[in-house]
Amino acid sequence: RSSAGGGGPRSDPHRAGFTHCLSSKRSEGARFVRMPKADGDAKLLIQSLNKAYAATPTNLKIIDLYVFFAMVTALVQRLVTWE
């Protein structure tokens, strides 16, 4: 992208916030870009996974239970024989 056609990087809405973040100085005050909270992202991820898993057929959920049981059994056996 050249600045001849569009008026420079500030005309691009995707780069405008990034440019502002780089140009802000600490002496001007604490103007920092607010980042999204991690707990909100985690809640959104769990909600989307829950919605996707709700649409999973029952026979695949049963297979998931068998796999989970096998993993827990293997972990218990490993911990018991790890003396």
Q: What is the pLDDT of residues 37-78, one digit of tens each?
A: 788 888 999 999 999 999 999 999 999 999 999 999 999 999
Q: What is the pLDDT of residue 39?
A: 80
∠ CA(36), CA(39), CA(40), 5° rounding?
60
Amino acid at 62: I
Q: What is the pLDDT of residue 69?
A: 98
Rounded to whole angstroms, the Cα distance separating 55 from 58 reads 9
pLDDT higher than 90, residue 9: no
pTM for this entry: 0.44
Q: What is the pLDDT of residue 81?
A: 87
pLDDT higher than 80, residue 32: no
